[in-house]
């Protein structure tokens, strides 16, 4: 067979809003996302990609007519490339879908059924198996009892699913992947995973083109698969993001103020190469003295050259607090009363009660509580 260049593209969710940032920055990222999507197609053209597998959630439920026109133009702008789309839980195949509109160009193939089906691509010497999501509650296992029909061709698999234990969503298992016998399996749904092997099959979740919230942390991009004349596959991740979400957990036990917190944070920022493309969330943990109140400000992001910086305070005001256990004033009574809930295993309760205690103690001591 002739060598092939294939891209496995995970969640794009075209039209999806950004979350977790200020309203202004969310709007800016949403406005600039077409640059990321255009960058994907620039790569496809530049690298002469033969086949693109959109393995689920190419679009989102927020897709506008403008987004749809832009997508159609980009797909039609690379007629030498074949695009195979597997509808996912964010863009299910239904009567309202762009996928049934008849507007997509001829170089686009779409899976329509929840059951396993395939499209033949004779010009590429390949067959692509896959399925479509029709609803978010399907418990279908499309690969159960299935196997490729022709092991002499290049067999690819593409679909939106979870991998592993049975769930309320479409799912497959590594055992089913191995038994099916494809050369490569392209999946979407959830975070990216390393390329793994099940039997002869290489498979992975490609993750997302660019994260839209802190739940989609890390670098976004695609998986490239190069197939040589002997049908040997090699894979590599290609980063294509313009913005990324990152989270760092920092133990700041004993810190006295924000300057000490920032000093502890700086090595993490520098070592991991976070810069102006990064929205960083810092989860603060550990024990602080009861009177320490941390008041982060937006200007701190500028000192690190980050796109944005925010803190989640999960510290507990119990360091060197023995004097409050012996204090017979209202301060001590407040501390003794709230301490069991401050030390609660319920994180939400512990955080809320810790903040309430700090505010109460500051008020009793006539300290400013506006920064809490």
* DSSP annotation of 17: P
The chain-wide mean pLDDT, for the chain, equals 92
Residue burial 95-117, b: 16+ Cβ < 10 Å; e: rest = eebbbeeeebeebbbbbbebebe
- Residue indicated by tokens 């004993």: 254
pLDDT tens, residue by residue, 184-243 = 999 998 888 999 999 999 999 999 999 999 999 999 999 999 999 999 999 999 999 999
**pLDDT (0 to 100) of residue 365:** 79
* DSSP annotation of 16: P
pLDDT tens, residue by residue, 79-90 = 999 999 999 999
Q: In 3-state terms, what secondary structure has residue 327?
A: coil
| Model confidence at 76: pLDDT above 70 | yes
> pTM for this structure?
0.90
**pLDDT (0 to 100) of residue 263:** 93
Domains of the chain: residue spans and CATH? 4-239 (3.60.21.10), 244-364 (no CATH)
Q: What is the mean pLDDT of residues 28-52?
A: 97
Q: What is the mean pLDDT of residues 314-321?
A: 92
| Local confidence band at 302 (pLDDT 50, 70, 90 cut-offs) | confident
**pLDDT (0 to 100) of residue 138:** 63
| Model confidence at 96: pLDDT above 90 | no
* Structural contact between residues 274 and 246, judged by C-beta atoms closer than 8 angstroms: yes
* DSSP annotation of 347: H
**pLDDT (0 to 100) of residue 372:** 54
pLDDT tens, residue by residue, 148-185 = 999 999 999 999 999 986 667 888 999 999 999 999 99
| Model confidence at 301: pLDDT above 70 | no
Looking at beta carbons, which pairs linking 44-47 to residues 24 or more positions away fall under 8 Å?
44/7, 44/78, 44/81, 45/78, 47/5, 47/224
* Structural contact between residues 282 and 309, judged by C-beta atoms closer than 8 angstroms: yes
């Amino acid at each position: 067979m002739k060598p092939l260049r294939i891209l496995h593209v995970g969640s794009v969710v075209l039209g999806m809003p950004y979350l977790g940032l200020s309203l202004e920055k969310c709007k800016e990222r949403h406005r600039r996302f077409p640059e990321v999507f255009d960058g994907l197609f620039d790569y496809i053209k530049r690298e002469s990609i033969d086949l693109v597998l959109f393995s689920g959630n190419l679009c989102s439920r927020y897709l506008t007519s403008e987004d749809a026109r832009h997508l159609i133009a980009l797909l039609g702008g690379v007629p030498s490339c074949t695009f195979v789309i597997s509808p996912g839980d964010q863009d299910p195949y239904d009567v309202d879908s762009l996928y049934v509109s008849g507007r997509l160009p001829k170089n686009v193939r779409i899976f329509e059924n929840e059951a396993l089906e395939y499209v033949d691509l004779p010009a590429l010497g390949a067959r692509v198996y896959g399925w479509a999501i029709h609803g978010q509650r399907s418990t279908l296992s499309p690969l159960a009892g299935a196997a490729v029909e022709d092991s002499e061709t290049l067999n690819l698999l593409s679909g939106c699913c979870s991998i592993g234990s049975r769930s309320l969503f479409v799912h497959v298992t590594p055992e089913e992947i191995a038994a099916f016998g494809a050369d490569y399996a392209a999946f979407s749904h959830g975070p990216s995973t390393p390329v793994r092997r099940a039997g002869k099959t290489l498979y992975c979740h490609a993750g997302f083109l660019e994260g839209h919230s802190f739940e989609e942390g890390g670098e976004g991009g695609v998986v490239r698969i190069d197939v040589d004349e002997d049908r040997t596959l090699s894979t590599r991740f290609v980063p294509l993001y313009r913005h990324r979400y990152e989270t760092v957990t920092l133990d700041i036990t004993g810190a006295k103020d924000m300057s000490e917190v920032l000093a502890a944070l700086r090595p993490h920022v520098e070592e991991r190469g976070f810069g102006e493309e990064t929205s960083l969330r810092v989860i603060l943990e550990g024990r602080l003295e009861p009177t320490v109140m941390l008041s982060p400000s937006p200007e701190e992001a500028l000192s690190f050259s980050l796109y944005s910086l925010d803190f989640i305070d999960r510290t507990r005001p119990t360091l060197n607090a023995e004097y409050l256990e012996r204090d017979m004033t209202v301060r001590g009574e407040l501390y003794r009363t709230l301490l069991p809930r401050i030390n609660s295993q319920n994180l939400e309760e512990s955080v809320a009660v810790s903040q309430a205690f700090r505010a109460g103690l500051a008020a009793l001591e006539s300290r400013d509580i506006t920064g809490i």
